[in-house]
Amino acid sequence: MGTWWLCLVILVAFAAVLDATELTFELPDNAQQCFYEEVEKGQKCTLEFQVVTGGKYDVDVTLSDADDKNVLYKERRKQYDTFTFTPKEKQVYKFCFSNEFSTFAHKVVYFDFMVGDEDLLRGVGAHATALTQLETTCVSIHENIKEVIDYQTHHRLREFTGRVRAEHLSQRVQWWSAGVFIVILIVGIGQVIVLRSFFTEKRPTTGKI
């Protein structure tokens, strides 16, 4: 019990910090939204995005500096992608998501902008080649927790996408069922009217002599 408690304390106190911006937002039709991030020189940056719902699940994505002079990444109608770069100087970068090509479809977009490499656990990096059993266990738990968080994020996105598709399909089935019911009702009423016309007696008209 004491070993696991000490391991938890080490993880909480010495966990490395990775600067990351993660967001899920709604992108209306004929609209564009941009986000800005200041990055230090030599820091590894990764932009990961995915269209969760809406239309054909695609958006236009552009990554550049704040003045749009240097475009690092530009893709049209992408559903998901990952782009990694390392800036040569400190500056503000801008990444934009555009749905201007769509007239009616609103989109829900998820992105994760990660800056910098994750350092080793403090107190471990100094002698990473000769770890004690407790430090090895802590590092293993730390890596497993990161994988679990990543898996949870992607599974939540898939679950949300599947739920939206299921709701859309259910709505279409309801409208189709209502249309079929109306057609059957109209056909039934028409058949009754036609059958009644067959059995209606027509009395001959008699004239006076």
**pTM value?**
0.63
Q: Which residues pair with 33 in a beta bridge?
A: 97
pLDDT values of the chain reduced to their tens digit, one per residue, 209 residues = 444 433 433 334 333 344 667 888 999 989 999 999 998 888 889 999 999 888 888 999 999 988 888 899 999 999 889 999 998 888 899 999 999 998 888 899 999 998 876 555 555 555 555 567 777 777 778 778 877 877 787 787 778 778 878 888 898 999 999 999 999 999 999 998 888 888 776 666 655 55
**Alpha-carbon dihedral of residues 121, 122, 123, 126, nearest 10 degrees?**
80
11 and 25, same domain (yes or no): no
Number of domains in the chain: 2
**Domain end among 88, 117, 146:** 117
Q: What is the extent of the structural domain holding 149?
A: 1-15+130-197
Q: In the numeric block, which tokens belong to residue 87?
A: 């800036």
> Quick one: which of 126, 123, 158 has its CA closest to 142?
123
104 and 51, same domain (yes or no): yes
8 and 64, same domain (yes or no): no
99 and 50, same domain (yes or no): yes
Residue 125 resides in a domain: no
Residue 209 resides in a domain: no
